[in-house]
Structure 1
């Protein structure tokens, strides 16, 4: 019991010494100066962040104004400038965040240079895991500067088809025809089939019974074509050719019409033409099978 009591007393005395030293250290601290210094540092940080934000907004406004002005003078390539605007804004935001973080750490007295040096060593260690990110960025810049696709273009990326919503330095955003948004890493984009760079072919086939009066069919379709040329003067880039008759399934033949349109007008012209052909053929007393086929492909 005496030995245990002695050990307890020694431990208690040691704790008292440490507590006394800690209290002495706390008492020696000039809390008023410390709080004043912290308050000034906080004010500096707030003012610096406000200044950085104001500069960011000014630069962003100038960038957006520049691209909007380019839109008004470069109507033939608005999507390209929209894409470049998005990327420029992304880079600007990243640079602003880096500057803000660097400023805050510096004002807090944290040795940023030492951290960056350590980050270099750490970056070397994690660089193998960042290869995908680097590939995304490199391929993203290649897509933009080679003008493979722009915002608003209709493209096919392997088995994905839709409209380009955004081309970023890391990810490309595609909206398919069902409205689903797809985020595609740029490193996964190998082949880009752009349907907005050239005129599109509209191919319409109207199946007919073998005993149909083909001369009457030709006359009706040619009349519809004349109306189409007038109605879609701006949209149709190559007028409908003369109707041709090709073999079809089940002993039938098909009336085939081909025309070319601007990319964005292909579906409008095709649907209108199809309805006009069927309506006029029915009006002329020409019976059609229960189904027809329409297809389109790029030129």
Structure 2
């Protein structure tokens, strides 16, 4: 019992000596965290106000996409800055000197820089991608061998979702060429195959007729920006003559317009009796081979004489 009383007395004295320090430390840490939360909230609010002001000044969809992308990056950068400053203040309160850590971080940064060259490359490439407005959220692009709609653009990577729903994370350092299919306008390229017996000029008239009806459509008409542009005969293939034309449409409408045009063209071909080509093979034999085959078939088809009993 005496030992228990002695231990309790010692713990009480130890707690009373350090309780003010713990309370002071808790208050200071809480104030730093509260301040960091407030700064982060204020930064996001300021960014949202700037975003709303910029968005109200333009009606262009392209500019709105660019503003959305830049706002995402600004929010991310503001959060990183606030967390780094708060982390330094917390270390100072805990008695950890920040100066040696900064010196060590500088030396370590050089060492890590050699091992993280790809990361640094991604960050610099991402900065210029955003600065030059090459890729924006909502664009349909082809980068690093992947096609899809852009869902997110950061300083580190670009997130794409393809037609099948697969998500691709492409590091910015691997982006050497950006092919955008959603800038200002697009062309629905139409390759139509017809039989060699068909008159090309007649097929062109059918294509113009279908394109005219498509422009009068209530849903697709506003998406078409010009008349059918016929390029002519594209190629002579084994069983078909390929004709090429195109329609100028608003961005991202090229696939929808192309599918509907081909559907209507197929129906018009059926109605007018135009033949759709299919693979055909013509066999040619030498005269000697042809004569031998005829004799062989004649001998097989000739009636056999019944042998006498």
TM tier relative to shorter chain: 0.7 to 0.9
Q: CA RMSD in A?
A: 2.6
Distance of 1:62 and 1:282 partners within structure 2: 62
- Which residue, 24, 31, 36 being the options, matches 1:52? 36
What is the number of residues matched between the two proteins?
A: 267
Q: Is the 8 A contact 2:239 2:277 kept in 1?
A: no
Structure 2 regions of 5+ residues with no counterpart?
A: 1-6, 280-309
- Which residue, 232, 240, 256 being the options, matches 1:252? 240
* Residue 207 (structure 2) pairs with residue 221 (structure 1): yes
Partner of 1:263 in structure 2? 251
- Cα 1:246–1:120 shift into 2, 3 Å: closer
* Residue 182 (structure 2) pairs with residue 200 (structure 1): no
* Structure 1 residue runs of 4 or more that deviate by more than 4 Å after TM superposition: 213-216, 242-247
1:127, distance to aligned residue in structure 2 (A): 2.7
Determine helix, strand or coil for the equivalent of 1:45: helix
1:143, distance to aligned residue in structure 2 (A): 1.0
Q: Is the 8 A contact 2:144 2:170 kept in 1?
A: no
Which has the higher mean CA deviation after the structures are superposed, 282-291 or 46-55? 282-291
Partner of 2:67 in structure 1? 81
Which has the higher mean CA deviation after the structures are superposed, 87-96 or 258-267? 258-267
Q: Which has the higher contact order (CA 8 A, sep 6+)?
A: 1
Any residues of structure 2 matched to 1:97-246 within 5 Å, and which? 97-212=83-198, 216-231=202-217, 232-242=220-230, 244-245=232-233
1:104, distance to aligned residue in structure 2 (A): 1.4
Distance of 1:188 and 1:149 partners within structure 2: 14
Distance of 1:119 and 1:94 partners within structure 2: 17
Determine helix, strand or coil for the equivalent of 1:264: coil
Distance of 1:168 and 1:43 partners within structure 2: 36
Q: Is the 8 A contact 1:222 1:243 kept in 2?
A: no
TM-score by length of 1: 0.79
- Cα 1:260–1:155 shift into 2, 3 Å: same
- Cα 1:213–1:125 shift into 2, 3 Å: closer
- Cα 1:44–1:151 shift into 2, 3 Å: same
Q: Is the 8 A contact 1:153 1:164 kept in 2?
A: yes
Larger Rg: 2
- Cα 1:246–1:165 shift into 2, 3 Å: closer
Distance of 1:227 and 1:72 partners within structure 2: 37
Distance of 2:235 and 2:106 partners within structure 1: 70
1:229, distance to aligned residue in structure 2 (A): 2.1
1:228, distance to aligned residue in structure 2 (A): 1.7
1:116, distance to aligned residue in structure 2 (A): 1.7
* Residue 49 (structure 2) pairs with residue 61 (structure 1): no
Alpha-carbon displacement from aligned partner over 1:191-228 (angstroms, at most 9, x marks no partner): 22222225322222222223336565444332211122
- Cα 1:92–1:289 shift into 2, 3 Å: same
Distance of 1:187 and 1:215 partners within structure 2: 50
Q: Is the 8 A contact 2:235 2:243 kept in 1?
A: no
Partner of 2:301 in structure 1? none
- Cα 1:216–1:55 shift into 2, 3 Å: same
Which has the higher mean CA deviation after the structures are superposed, 188-197 or 215-224? 215-224
Determine helix, strand or coil for the equivalent of 1:256: strand
- Cα 1:277–1:49 shift into 2, 3 Å: same
1:50, distance to aligned residue in structure 2 (A): 1.8
